[in-house]
Amino acid sequence: MKTKWVAMMLATGALAFSGAALAGDAAAGAKKADACLDCHEPAEDFAGQKAADIEGKIKAMLAANSKHKPKLTLADADIADIAAFFASGK
């Protein structure tokens, strides 16, 4: 019985940290991406890229001393949403 319980808890933990559980909301990202859309066209600039890759690029850009940093303050959830929006190609 204890073995089944441990296996169930491990499986639940794996689901909680899966990509689906951490995925951003593209509809919410569309609303949050206004500043990005001044210069970026999602269908052109991010075509074929996965949300996780775009999210990594956004985080790297914010960490670097770039022209974007002064005008953007984004929480991790905001970045995930914006990345999901750009990955959707809409």
Whole-angstrom CA distances from 11 to 17, 19, 51, 87 are 10, 14, 24, 28
CA distance 55 to 78: 10
Q: For 2-57, how does the pLDDT look when each residue is reduced to its tens digit (9 = 90+)?
A: 444 444 444 444 434 444 445 899 999 999 988 888 888 877 888 889 999 999 99
Amino acid residing at 11:
A
> Dihedral of CA 10/54/88/36: which sign?
positive
* Residue 86, amino acid: F
Please state whether the predicted TM-score (pTM) of the whole model is above 0.75: no
What are the phi and psi torsion angles at 14 (to 5°)? -65, -40
